[in-house]
Structure 1
Amino acid sequence: MPLTVRDLVADAELGLAARAGARAFDRPIAWAHTSELADPAPFLEGGELLLTTGLALRPEDCAGLVERLTAVGVAGLGFGVGLSHREIPAELVTAAESAGLPLLEVPRPTPFIAISKAVSRAVSADEYASLRHTSRAQHELAQAAGTTNGVATLVRKLATLLDAWVLLLDAGGRLLHSAPAAAGSRLPQLEPEVAKVRAKRGLTAAGFSLGDQEVSMQALGGRARGFLAVGRGGPFATTDHHVINSAASLLTLALEQVEALATARRRLRAGFLDLMLRGEPVQDVLPDLHAELPPEPFRVVALAGARDRDELLTRLAADQPSAPAYLAEHGDTVVGLVDGGALDWLTGQPGVAVGVSEPCEVAGLAEGLRQAQQAARAAKRSGTAVHFGDLAGYGLLNLVPGTDAQGFAEALLAPLRGQDALIESLQTWLAHHGQWDPAANRLGVHRHTLRNRVRKVEELLGRSLDQPGVRAELWLALQILDRPGE
């Protein structure tokens, strides 16, 4: 514990007497400093016990001196009597009492050096005690980090050492561990502060109040792999901050190891998926990964279009339900092999296009992935998750990319541009499956007139309409140009 003015007064060997400011006697003393300057305040940092004999002090200067010393934050004023002054000036006593500044009378037999040594010994002892406390705390934190569930154990140990609550958050600000468990309920209140720390980037720390709680928060690692928040109902001492910093360093290393292991496991998952897609026997290869596969038959889910696949995979891993789900990267797509229990969870992911295959087994995984990716392409246009089995209801035009389809239609029908009667006749004739009389009746023209128009279309296009493929292409092109918004 730091030395206070009260402790110094209680030291009988010094013989100090309290003269004013008793209500502030619990102020800690950081150092003792002697000065006979009329205004020593510019040379003080705060927290000092200032010792003086008042050599240059006049009665009319007392109030100003006390005001300046109070402003700079000195711990107290020791006034030596029997030299410049037989007793402490009454004006100084009055001013000190009014300002709440501890004022001590130093008797003539007590040299200032004795007071300085007493303060120095106490400061050194306090620093040594703090050093030992910090060292023991660091040792206990290191031991906690080395246990089986090191990260969670370290969080609990930090909370115990500081008599505080502790939250460990991931890079996205989601809760990883809390101590005690109920402290996790504070996360919504911390989210604005997490955003501020994240915005600053790099190794950033912040201290702030949260109601009646004092909170210390810092980013873990230069890339903000996570955030550590520690709070309690009172301020943190310097030694407490040393302990928090030690815990932050250990947690940063732990998260880096977790991240490295996760990266390696992701690569293994992707490689394992590729083996299955090639039809390689996988039952005896990496049995741990094989055990993660959902029971057959399962569905293949393709999640395409994610801005950050790393962030998506991290979020999926953190939120994964108990139902079996095998997640891996394949090109620019995140692939999930899931049973019915996890299907709703994956199809409800925001910010990605989700396609779902028909039920399949490992032997048919390549076909399942093709179906899922095709459904995902349709999902990009629909904005909702699409099941492969539902594609037939989407219509052929909805499966063709809009810009590609528009270009195809305009190029194919370019020779007929401006020939509205020919285009209308062609479209009506195709709609009636090439039957002349029904089409002519629909148009209100003679069938010979329609025949002439169709022959003109053939001449302009340079293609025979007797070919089914040509008719299909022209019908598709006409439908594309008739789509709303085209």
Structure 2
Amino acid sequence: MTPTLAALVDRPELGLVVRAGAEHLNRPVQWVHTSELADPTAFLEGGELLLTTGLWVRSGAAAYIGRLHEAGVAGLGFGTGLTHASVPAAVIKAAAAVGLPVIEVPRPVPFIAISKAVAKAVAAAEYAAVTRAYQAQRALTSAAVRPNGVTGVTRQLSRRLDAWAVLLDPRGQVLAGDSAVLDKLRAELPRFHAGPASLTYELDGDEITVQTLGAGERIRGFLAVGRATRLTPADQQVLTTAASLLTVSFERPHAVEAATRRLRGGLLRLLLAGETELVAEIAADLWGELPAAPVRVLLAAGPARARQAAVDRAEDSDAFHAPYRDSLLLIVADEVALPGLNVGVSDPAEYGGLDRALRQAERALAAAVRADVPVVRFAELADDGVLTLVDPQVAGVFADRLLAPLVEHDATGRGELIASLRAWLAHNGQWDPAAAALGVHRHTLRHRLAKVGQLLGRDLDSADTRAELWLALRLRA
């Protein structure tokens, strides 16, 4: 603790006598300065004990004392037995009026003795503060490595700073500490969400300091402390240590999670390269056995929260999971439900054919996303034919452009070219069956198909033309 005027007065070897301002002797003394100038304030910072023999008294005691009071000095040490036999009454009166302590320094006591006493006391106070900060940092570190370390760190911080302390999550919910002070903090928390910061403010008699926790720009929580007095520099160091330890506690799981994702991604690449035995050995040590073959590959796309739920389900089962591009990949023995996601499912495969199964799952997932359906299985995709592999928007543009002349013609009411073309192609270009299906004479059908060829500028005898027209009609349907 910084030495006070009272501590100096209580030292019998100094023989100091209080002549004014006895009620203010609790003021801390930051340093000792000696001056005989009529206005020494240009050389003062505040908090000093100013020593003088009073050569300036003739210039006016009241003005001199007023200047010292405005400069924030802790007190005036007046040396007697040299310029003045005793402290002048004018000095005592002026000091008493403004509450400035005046201490008489007898002639036998050299000013240097007072300077040494204060210097030693300041050094001792600084050493004590450093020692307390070191002990506090050790206690905080010890608490951080124990189970439920965030609670232990918060409690130790409160004890070491003699203050209340509370730890909050990013939403402002109490994780540890005194929840009774939450109302003092909620109004200020929105100011921190723009990024890491520190803030000190006064409220209800407490000086409150809040620090954001987290590495980089992402906020993991808030640490707040409050007490009636301002934190010292040593206290600030203790608070910084606590904030750093809590940040490490918050960031460690995220770092482990990121490393695990990278490891799983690497193992997946090894599986696709045929290193099944190596991956099986590593996976068994870390998570458990790989699913028994034959297996299916599932690729899932969708919201991050749904993907995380799928990961949680996979970790509670025998499935192997890994990130794959923007999707979640699962290798399973039996197909599993993944709510909230679009999922593509491969055919059963041995591990040696895993790369082929992955390609199947990719195609199935693309179809699931296009159709916005929960699950598409590759086997079903293949059964549905080539149309399921075509992007609906691109296919729609193709069909509309190719058939536009026929649609415009039919819209005039002058014929049924679209229906006639569909029936003719469905009957493999056979006129009589197609005409019968339409309920028209075959010559009428021939006339209509000639019109189709004319409007489209295509040769209907060409196999390529017939294939394109059939595809366009199926897509339009």
* TM over 0.5, shorter chain: yes
Output the CA distance in 1 between the equivalents of 2:357 and 2:458. 44
1:473 to 451, 471, 474: 471
* Distance change in 2, residues 1:28/1:181 (3 Å): closer
Contact 2:209 2:226 survives alignment (8 Å): yes
2:236 is aligned with 1:241: yes
Contact 1:301 1:372 survives alignment (8 Å): yes
Larger Rg computed on CA atoms: 2
Tell me the residue number matched to 2:177: 180
- 1:180-201 deviation digits (Å, cap 9, x = unpaired): 3859978966743543443xxx
Which stretches in structure 2 are left out of the alignment for 5+ residues?
A: 428-433
Give how far 1:402 is off: 6.3
Tell me the residue number matched to 1:484: none
Greater mean deviation of Cα atoms: 4-13 or 151-160: 151-160
* Distance change in 2, residues 1:474/1:407 (3 Å): closer
Output the CA distance in 2 between the equivalents of 1:5 and 1:293. 76
* Distance change in 2, residues 1:467/1:419 (3 Å): closer
Corresponding pairs, count? 447
- Structure 2 residue identity aligned to 1:454: V
- 1:97-122 deviation digits (Å, cap 9, x = unpaired): 45444343434443322221221121
- Structure 1 residue identity aligned to 2:132: H
Output the CA distance in 2 between the equivalents of 1:73 and 1:100. 11
Output the CA distance in 2 between the equivalents of 1:324 and 1:267. 20
Output the CA distance in 1 between the equivalents of 2:16 and 2:285. 75
- Structure 1 residue identity aligned to 2:283: L
- 1:113-137 deviation digits (Å, cap 9, x = unpaired): 2221221121111122122222323
2:96 is aligned with 1:104: no
Tell me the residue number matched to 2:408: 420
Give how far 1:439 is off: 6.8
2:316 is aligned with 1:324: yes
2:343 is aligned with 1:356: yes
Tell me the residue number matched to 2:288: 291
Output the CA distance in 1 between the equivalents of 2:284 and 2:181. 36
Give how far 1:287 is off: 1.4
Give how far 1:39 is off: 2.5
* Distance change in 2, residues 1:418/1:379 (3 Å): closer
Contact 1:32 1:50 survives alignment (8 Å): yes
- Structure 2 residue identity aligned to 1:104: I
Output the CA distance in 1 between the equivalents of 2:95 and 2:314. 69
2:382 is aligned with 1:388: no
- 1:43-62 deviation digits (Å, cap 9, x = unpaired): 22232222223322456563
Tell me the residue number matched to 2:44: 44
* Distance change in 2, residues 1:403/1:30 (3 Å): farther
Give how far 1:219 is off: 5.6
Which stretches in structure 1 are left out of the alignment for 5+ residues?
A: 199-203, 307-311, 348-353, 480-486
Tell me the residue number matched to 2:209: 215
Contact 1:155 1:177 survives alignment (8 Å): no
* Distance change in 2, residues 1:55/1:4 (3 Å): same
2:55 is aligned with 1:79: no
Output the CA distance in 1 between the equivalents of 2:291 and 2:71. 69
- Structure 2 residue identity aligned to 1:421: H
- Structure 2 residue identity aligned to 1:125: A
Give how far 1:217 is off: 1.9
SS, match of residue 50 in structure 2: strand
Give how far 1:214 is off: 1.6
Contact 1:305 1:333 survives alignment (8 Å): no
Greater mean deviation of Cα atoms: 173-182 or 11-20: 173-182
**How does the TM-score come out when normalised to structure 2?**
0.68
- Structure 1 residue identity aligned to 2:451: R
SS, match of residue 231 in structure 1: strand
* Structure 1 vs Structure 2 CA RMSD: 5.4
Greater mean deviation of Cα atoms: 41-50 or 371-380: 371-380
Q: Percent sequence identity over matched residues?
A: 36
Q: Which structure 2 residues correspond to residues 195-234 of structure 1 after superposition, within 5 A?
A: 195-198=193-196, 206-208=199-201, 212=206, 214-217=208-211, 229-234=223-228
Q: Which structure 2 residues correspond to residues 58-73 of structure 1 after superposition, within 5 A?
A: 58=58, 60=60, 62-63=62-63, 65-66=65-66, 68-73=67-72
Output the CA distance in 2 between the equivalents of 1:46 and 1:430. 101
* Distance change in 2, residues 1:337/1:53 (3 Å): farther
- 1:135-188 deviation digits (Å, cap 9, x = unpaired): 32333344445657767755554454334425387xxx5799944385997896
Contact 2:343 2:364 survives alignment (8 Å): yes
Output the CA distance in 2 between the equivalents of 1:91 and 1:322. 88
